[in-house]
């Protein structure tokens, strides 16, 4: 059994991790931390976990995380980087669901996240946890940087085009929409029901923290710096990301065949039949990314539609997928979940 600890188990990502791990046949949940709610039964805060998780939240100082096999950090940015080294030295694998280890350029990370990095040497070691690109590196990793939600949807949509050098990489466009759970489980005016319901708006247009992460990932695939315009939007739904991606084609190609071939052996990427319209509710609660590809009017623009559940493939599900790879388990263990509908 894999002994698992979770740091920061009271947010949406934390409870999603618990939902998935509670049903994992090879996992033993050992410790779930919370400073503010230490001593409270997990199932009291999250009644959905009654009968599945019988632990109480514990203070981080009493969590005995060094006795785990793997620790997930479902914490705000800037937490994992202060604790990762001690856990790694104790032989514990670390999967960080925040952004502490995602961006390899430490100066760039510090600019976007507004703090000094506590362990820049570990950034170089961290493996970016997008299995569809880095599966073999993840298999050998002891520190995995779990991708962000927008970066997952956007990269999976662009990767086949960039791998084959099919689009002009100087003018990529990602127009993306997210449900309010992407903002986290906190009190904030902009995500109050009366503010976000029956409303639709862009945000972070001048620059969003996920932009450098997406550019970094696309540049690795293209083997060249890319020009990307990324505009996120907030939609009045709880879960889901829909990314509409645009790239100017440089030559003629069968886009449907290209995407089907690229993802033929990927358990969590579904390339839909030609003419399909993927919907966020078609992936709700699942670890799947659904993709459709178009070439409107047979012109020179490729349009890719990519949808994920931001809390699953965009966070907790992808983290469990990475854990499965790291421990040599079937990749889909505890993740073969049929999406919820309606």
- Domains in the chain (CATH in brackets) are 2-125 (3.40.50.720), 149-310 (3.30.360.10)
Q: What residues act catalytically?
A: 149
Query: Is the pLDDT reported for residue 28 higher than 90?
Result: yes
SS3 of residue 138 by DSSP = helix
Q: What is the mean pLDDT of residues 255-278?
A: 98
Phi first, then psi: give them for residue 233, nearest 5 degrees.
Answer: -135, 150
pLDDT for 92 equals 98
Instruction: Give the Cα separation of 158 and 269 in Å (integer).
Output: 13
pTM of this structure: 0.97
Q: What is the pLDDT of residues 94-147, one digit of tens each?
A: 999 999 999 999 999 999 999 999 999 999 999 999 999 999 999 999 999 999
CA 44 to chain centre: 27
Nearest to 98 by CA among 83, 117, 79: 79
Of the candidate ranges 154-163, 193-202, 234-243, 294-303, the one whose mean pLDDT is the lowest: 193-202
Give CA torsion, residues 66, 106, 159, 95, to 10 deg: 10
| Residues sharing a CB contact under 8 Å with residue 44, sequence separation 6 or more, in sequence order | none
Q: What is the mean pLDDT of residues 49-69?
A: 96
Q: Partners of 229 in the beta sheet?
A: 173
Q: Interior CA angle at 161 toward 158 and 163, to 5°?
A: 100
Instruction: Give the Cα separation of 126 and 89 in Å (integer).
Output: 14
């Amino acid at each position: 059994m894999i002994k698992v600890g979770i740091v920061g188990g009271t947010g949406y990502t934390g409870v999603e991790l618990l939902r998935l791990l509670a049903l994992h046949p090879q996992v033993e949940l050992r410790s779930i931390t919370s400073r503010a709610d230490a001593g409270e039964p997990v199932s009291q805060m999250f009644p959905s976990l009654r009968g599945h998780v019988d632990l109480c939240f514990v203070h981080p100082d009493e969590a005995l995380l060094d006795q785990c096999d793997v620790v997930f950090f479902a914490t705000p940015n800037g937490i994992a980087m202060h604790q990762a080294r001690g856990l790694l030295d104790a032989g514990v694998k670390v999967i960080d669901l925040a952004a502490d280890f995602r961006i390899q350029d430490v100066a760039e990370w510090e600019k976007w996240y507004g703090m000094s990095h506590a362990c820049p040497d570990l950034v170089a070691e961290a493996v970016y946890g997008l299995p569809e690109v880095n599966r073999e590196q993840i298999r050998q990793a002891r520190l995995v940087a779990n991708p962000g939600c927008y970066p997952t949807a956007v990269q999976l949509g662009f990767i086949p085009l960039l791998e084959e050098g099919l689009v002009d990489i100087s003018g990529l466009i990602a127009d993306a929409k997210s449900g309010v759970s992407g903002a986290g489980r906190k009190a904030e005016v902009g995500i109050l029901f009366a503010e976000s319901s029956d409303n639709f708006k862009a945000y972070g247009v001048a620059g969003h923290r996920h932009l450098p992460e997406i550019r970094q990932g696309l540049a690795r695939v293209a083997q060249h710096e890319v020009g990307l315009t990324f505009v996120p939007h907030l939609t009045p739904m709880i879960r889901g990301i829909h990314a509409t991606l645009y790239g100017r084609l440089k030559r003629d190609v069968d886009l449907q065949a290209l995407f089907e071939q690229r993802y033929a052996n990927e358990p969590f990427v579904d390339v839909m039949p030609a003419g399909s319209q993927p919907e966020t509710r078609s992936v709700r609660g699942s670890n799947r990314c659904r993709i459709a590809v178009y070439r409107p009017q047979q012109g020179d623009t490729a349009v890719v539609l990519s949808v994920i559940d931001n809390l699953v493939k965009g966070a907790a599900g992808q983290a469990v997928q990475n854990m499965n790879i790291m421990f040599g388990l079937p990749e889909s263990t505890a993740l073969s979940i049929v999406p919820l509908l309606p």
